[in-house]
Chains A and B, each alone.
Chain A
Amino acid sequence: MKRLVPLLAGMVLLLSACGRDDLSTLKPQGPVAQEQFNLMKLSISIMALVVVVVFAICIYVLLRFRRRKGDNSIPKQVEGNHKLEIIWTVIPLILLLILGVPTINTVFGLSKDYSNDKDALKVKVTSHQYWWEFEYPDYGITTAQELVVPTGKKVEFELASADVKHSFWIPSIGGKMDTNTGVTNKMYLEFSKEGIFRGKCAELCGPSHSLMDFKAKAVDQASFDRWVSAMKAPAQYAEDSKIKEAFQSKCLSCHAIGETNSGASAPNLTGIGSRETIGGILYNDETPIEDNLKEWITDPNSVKPGATMPSAKDIGLTDEELDGIAKYLANYKLDY
């Protein structure tokens, strides 16, 4: 039975393979995750060896030294064995040495600071209950929920939180780093392939902790540059002046768009129509973006419990305004 259980679990593992390319730590998509994955493989191999030895001895002992019926003999009372005891102290020490050296190397390697590197992209990450803000200080732009980065460049993150503690994690690109209040953390990552990678919050931060996803979109340098200029272009508004007015008075009191209202308390909506998701979890390729927007605006709390954004009813948004704003935002796309 003891062997059957891991076997069963191993089969399950095979079935689901190693998870999604854009999410699993077992399918590293960048050098940082790759380095961590190498350490994981090294430690798993050493540990598998230990487990095999222990299981083998255990099974042998259980088969060989079972008490037979009617056996009333007294086994020899052994006090110990110095040679054996030294062996199982020294061998683990050697194994730990093999594991410890690359560990220390990687700890220092991954802690390199690229903030003064001209080639590196700097991004300030601010976590909020329950969304992510990404500021690009070198370009003077801010976006939310969808991190856009060029491939093949070091990205130096400065991480802090606006409210409670969160943790910034893009599993397939690299390990996580907490966002604390009052202090700033630094970490670098590198995206070697183009693609959209799933990011998550890894520290309990309230009811919607589990739904605090974001996306990291890696694009080539040229389209990253196009994205930057599109972000800096003047904000687009709805053509219908009634919708524009409703949007300005009821949404922009918290949100930001283009250059207006920077430093806002709610996500920047510039180019939201090109994002993969609404709210980080409503996928636009599964449901039309307009429907997702409507669902979100109607009652954010039903999508993300504990979200601070008020419902459409609370801010007195009419159905007409809601439809208009959703349509406008869905079409607010950035060309890059």
Chain B
Amino acid sequence: MAAHAHKVKRYHGLLDWLTTVDHKKIGILYLLAGGLFFLVGGLEAILIRIQLIKPMNNFVGADTFNELITMHGTTMIFLAAMPLLFALMNAVIPLQIGARDVAFPFLNALGFWTFFFGGLLLNISWFAGNVPDAGWTSYVPLASPTYNSGHGVDYYVLGLQIAGIGTLLGGVNFMATIINMRAPGMSFMRMPMFAWTIFITSALIVFAFPVLTVGLVALMFDRLFQANFFETASGGSAVLWEHVFWVFGHPEVYILILPAFGVISEVVSTFARKRLFGYSSMVFATVLIAFLGFMVWAHHMFTTGLGPVANALFSIATMLIAVPTGVKVFNWLFTLWGGSIRFTAASMFAIGFIPTFVMGGVTGVMLAVAPADYQYHDTYFVVGHFHYVIVGGLVFSIFAGLHYWWPKMFGRMLNEWIGKLTFWTFFIGFHLTFFVQHFLGLLGMPRRVWTYLPNQGFDTMNLISTIGAFLMGVATIAFLVNVVVTSAKPRNAKADAWEDGRSLEWSIPSPPPEYNFKQLPLVRGFDAWWKEKMEGHTEMTPAEPPGPIHMPSPSFLPLIMSIGLFIAGFGFMYDKLYLAIGGIAVTLFCMFLRSVFDDHGFHIEEEEQEKGVHA
């Protein structure tokens, strides 16, 4: 056992965070960065709503407004929602499947840092005075060099490209983790629902993000090297961009919402003290939704002029998604049915999610009716619909997940009173903001409008919408206060923090030690931890004898590689070839170092394993 003598340099404080490859710490990094971008995107939303509070308002200019909506959408989807999901994924998945870490801890860190620097690059556009302003969908020709000659869209293209690398790495990593790293006895059909949804989401990431990569490359070549992918004058096709964007974009919607379904399944079943109703149909529904998600992209393009055959087919395919989604909704309701429901901030967000998401879902079916969509398309009806799905669905579930897993991540219970206040203000604010928007659309208000003329019947509802937005802002502040208040409390959360925990993460201390499981657990059924508790056990049956635990070493390389890409991004944008080549060279050199110098890792000996672990 000569390798055990090998000593690895370990870092402390800030350096620890910059070099960590521990999934639990990376989860916290994702939470911090995603939370930061959520605040930025939220601020943009508030500014948008202030501008629209009354007709012909001039709070921000037309140019600034288009920058705000573009950055709000892009930031919220790519830099807030996805990273916050990655935060939960990182914090929970290895614990739920009984693993000591993810399959590729190094890539995990690399994924975080590329996302972070991609997001940073995108947001630096505000300071460079060249902000993307062609909408988050960045339709050409508006985003083409002819009609968008500044560097704004370049920031969009390069920022998303770099952040996208991180997401793709995350997808590959979590797929491999779930396939290869499950604890003994944890068969696929014994996995918690959240693990299932993350597995399917990761698959969607792996098969959808490369499409975006190609789209962004093509747009970048058009903008930087005068290529003609989307230049109709030179034989390119602007509609091609729409296809490419939505072939990626629609699965992206499911990448976002499937994990939300997972979180809700966990929270609902824990706080109803009941097994998830219809587990196998839930799994099947998840797979089916993901599968159908790839064949409905053109419902975003009903008015593009694809012809009646395409519109009819995509209408029907889209409607079909309602069936597996309905299965899920009823399964949650019947999980609650006959249960013993405890109301906590987490369970309130999860239960509030169900009716809210159904409202977003039914407007989705309405939008699938192509001829009616000729009226809804690109109006505030659509804005209302997708905010019901993404905020009412995803953000509610992120809040539910954060309140639920906070003790597992940080060892402290969030304050329940402030948590419930957060829920009510957010819930009411949310419905105030977005419910009326459906009607605004029906009355004839297009989306993405900087302002509107008076006397069109839009004024009152826009005012209500803005008031709601402020309430959601208050709720967000309440949550931040909760975080601060809680962090001053002692770190005393129990292992099974809610006492009704069902899956493996609740069988180990809060927060878990660096190595998660001292001995990998033996899984004997679905809801593994619940099963042991019901049989009177106080801990999982180990599947291996105790012994030294091998850990991967921390590394600066992921951080430096991402900085290299970040620098290269600027080089491409401002035509500084030496910067572009230099940046890429830094990244490649890091890859070289990673390949040449093997990471032997280190071992935590048995006697060290108890150090610093809370009971």
Binding site for B on A (CB under 8 A): 1-2, 5-6, 8-9, 12-13, 15-20, 23-26, 33, 35-37, 39-40, 43-44, 47, 50-51, 54-55, 57-58, 61-62, 65-67, 71, 73-81, 84-85, 88-89, 92-93, 96, 99-100, 103-104, 106-108, 110-111, 159, 163-165, 167, 169, 171-172, 174-178, 180-183, 185-186, 198, 200-211, 213, 281, 305-306
Find the B residue at minimum CB distance from A60.
B337
Bound state CA distance, A13 and B451, in angstroms?
Answer: 21
In contact, B369 and A99 (Cβ under 8 angstroms): yes
- Whether B336 sits at the interface, judged by CB under 8 Å, is yes
In contact, A165 and B456 (Cβ under 8 angstroms): no
Q: List 13 A–B pairs whose Cβ atoms lie within 8 Å, in order of A's numbering.
A: A1-B427, A2-B427, A12-B436, A23-B457, A51-B359, A75-B339, A96-B323, A99-B319, A99-B365, A110-B371, A204-B139, A207-B65, A207-B66
**A5-B435, A108-B312 known; A181 vs B141 contact (CB < 8 Å):** yes
B 211-269 contacts with A by CB, 8 A? 232-233, 237-239
- Find chain B residues with CB under 8 A from A67 CB: 273, 340-343
- Whether B277 sits at the interface, judged by CB under 8 Å, is yes
Among candidates B232, B308, B451, residue contacting A182 with C-beta atoms closer than 8 Å: B232
Among candidates B147, B340, B370, B428, residue contacting A103 with C-beta atoms closer than 8 Å: B370
Find the A residue at minimum CB distance from B359.
A51
User: Which of these binds chain A: B195-203, B324-332, B510-518?
Assistant: B324-332
- Find chain B residues with CB under 8 A from A78 CB: 274-275, 277, 334, 338
Bound state CA distance, A5 and B363, in angstroms?
Answer: 17
- Find chain B residues with CB under 8 A from A92 CB: 322-323, 326
Find the B residue at minimum CB distance from A17.
B457
Bound state CA distance, A78 and B377, in angstroms?
Answer: 43
- Find chain B residues with CB under 8 A from A171 CB: 375, 444
In contact, A61 and B337 (Cβ under 8 angstroms): yes
In contact, B372 and A204 (Cβ under 8 angstroms): no
What class of interface size applies to chain B in its complex with A? 35 or more
Find the A residue at minimum CB distance from B436.
A9
- Whether B62 sits at the interface, judged by CB under 8 Å, is yes
- Find chain A residues with CB under 8 A from B363 CB: 47
Bound state CA distance, A204 and B333, in angstroms?
Answer: 40
In contact, B461 and A16 (Cβ under 8 angstroms): yes
Find the B residue at minimum CB distance from A2.
B355
Find the A residue at minimum CB distance from B239.
A180
In contact, B366 and A24 (Cβ under 8 angstroms): no
In contact, A103 and B315 (Cβ under 8 angstroms): yes
- Whether B408 sits at the interface, judged by CB under 8 Å, is no
- Whether B404 sits at the interface, judged by CB under 8 Å, is no
In contact, A106 and B424 (Cβ under 8 angstroms): no
- Find chain B residues with CB under 8 A from A174 CB: 374
Most buried by A among B338, B375, B453: B375
Q: Give min CB distance, B460 to chain A, whole Å.
A: 6
Among candidates A24, A55, A208, residue contacting B444 with C-beta atoms closer than 8 Å: A24
In contact, B443 and A23 (Cβ under 8 angstroms): yes
- Whether B280 sits at the interface, judged by CB under 8 Å, is yes
- Whether B474 sits at the interface, judged by CB under 8 Å, is no
- Find chain A residues with CB under 8 A from B292 CB: none
Bound state CA distance, A171 and B461, in angstroms?
Answer: 19
In contact, A66 and B312 (Cβ under 8 angstroms): no
**A79-B279, A107-B315, A204-B66 known; A36 vs B428 contact (CB < 8 Å):** no
| Interface 0/1 of B272-307, CB less than 8 Å to A | 111101111100000000000000000000011101
Q: Give min CB distance, A309 to chain B, whole Å.
A: 16
Bound state CA distance, A88 and B337, in angstroms?
Answer: 15
- Whether B593 sits at the interface, judged by CB under 8 Å, is no
In contact, A43 and B366 (Cβ under 8 angstroms): yes
Chain B interface, >50% SS class: helix
In contact, B450 and A104 (Cβ under 8 angstroms): no
Find the A residue at minimum CB distance from B335.
A78
- Whether B542 sits at the interface, judged by CB under 8 Å, is no
Among candidates B336, B338, B358, B442, residue contacting A76 with C-beta atoms closer than 8 Å: B338
- Find chain A residues with CB under 8 A from B484 CB: none
- Find chain B residues with CB under 8 A from A107 CB: 308, 311-312, 315, 370-371
In contact, B333 and A54 (Cβ under 8 angstroms): yes
Bound state CA distance, A1 and B423, in angstroms?
Answer: 12
- Find chain A residues with CB under 8 A from B339 CB: 65, 75
Among candidates A44, A177, A204, residue contacting B142 with C-beta atoms closer than 8 Å: A204
| Interface 0/1 of B432-460, CB less than 8 Å to A | 10011001001110111111110111001
- Ranked nearest first, the 3 interchain pairs of A and B with the lowest CB-CB distance are A175-B374, A182-B232, A210-B449
Among candidates B238, B342, B446, residue contacting A165 with C-beta atoms closer than 8 Å: B238
In contact, A62 and B351 (Cβ under 8 angstroms): yes
Find the A residue at minimum CB distance from B336.
A61
- Find chain B residues with CB under 8 A from A74 CB: 273, 340, 534
In contact, B371 and A16 (Cβ under 8 angstroms): no
- Find chain A residues with CB under 8 A from B311 CB: 107, 111
Bound state CA distance, A80 and B307, in angstroms?
Answer: 43
Bound state CA distance, A305 and B372, in angstroms?
Answer: 32
- Find chain B residues with CB under 8 A from A15 CB: 460
- Whether B535 sits at the interface, judged by CB under 8 Å, is no
Bound state CA distance, A50 and B320, in angstroms?
Answer: 15
| Interface 0/1 of B345-367, CB less than 8 Å to A | 00000011011001100110110
Q: Give min CB distance, B419 to chain A, whole Å.
A: 16
In contact, B378 and A40 (Cβ under 8 angstroms): no
Q: Give min CB distance, A193 to chain B, whole Å.
A: 17
- Find chain A residues with CB under 8 A from B447 CB: 202
Bound state CA distance, A215 and B556, in angstroms?
Answer: 62
- Find chain B residues with CB under 8 A from A19 CB: 442-444, 456-457
Bound state CA distance, A167 and B232, in angstroms?
Answer: 18
Find the A residue at minimum CB distance from B459.
A16
In contact, A111 and B340 (Cβ under 8 angstroms): no
In contact, A204 and B448 (Cβ under 8 angstroms): yes
| Interface 0/1 of B84-103, CB less than 8 Å to A | 00000000000000000000
Bound state CA distance, A159 and B305, in angstroms?
Answer: 10
- Whether B379 sits at the interface, judged by CB under 8 Å, is yes
In contact, B442 and A24 (Cβ under 8 angstroms): yes
- Whether B61 sits at the interface, judged by CB under 8 Å, is yes
**A77-B274, A106-B371, A107-B371 known; A88 vs B327 contact (CB < 8 Å):** yes
